[in-house]
Structure 1
Amino acid sequence: MDLVKEAMTLPVDNFLGMLLYAVIYMLVTGIVFSLALRFIPNKLPYALKSLIVLIAIIISLYIWWITIVSP
């Protein structure tokens, strides 16, 4: 547990900390956008829903990169 706490101190300068923050950001983004997709009408095509999820993932990775790599 000490290794995880040490890896997650900001600024992150190791792979384990970056990976842990990426997983946390992706889980939060996945939960938020899966809840949002429940309220999108089913009349929209599957491709549009997939595009919304892709945009959510890209935004999440961008926020993760800005937060962790260049604080």
Structure 2
Amino acid sequence: MDLIQQSMATPVDNFLGMLIYAVIYMFIAGLVMGLALKFIPNRLPYAVKSLIVFIAIIISLIIWWQTIAEPGIKI
């Protein structure tokens, strides 16, 4: 357990920490996408539904970049 806690200390500078954070972010992004797709009404046009999903993906990528990738690059 100590190894995992040390690996997840930010900024992440090892492969195990990056892998753990990647799995966490993929799970959260999948959950957000699932919720977004569940609550988007079917009467909306396909383009609007695709735009909502695209925006959710971009937001999750920005959060990932600012919390994990960028601090790891600065090391």
Deviation at 1:55, TM superposition (A): 4.4
Deviation at 1:21, TM superposition (A): 1.0
Residue correspondences, number: 71
TM-score using structure 2 length: 0.66
TM-score using structure 1 length: 0.68
- The alignment partner of 1:10 has SS state of coil
Match of 1:70 in 2: 71
Q: Which runs of 5+ in 1 are unaligned?
A: none
Between the aligned residues of both structures, percent identity stands at 69
Distance 1:23 1:50 in 2: 24
Q: Which runs of 5+ in 2 are unaligned?
A: none
Match of 2:19 in 1: 19
Deviation at 1:49, TM superposition (A): 4.6
CA RMSD for the aligned pairs? 2.4
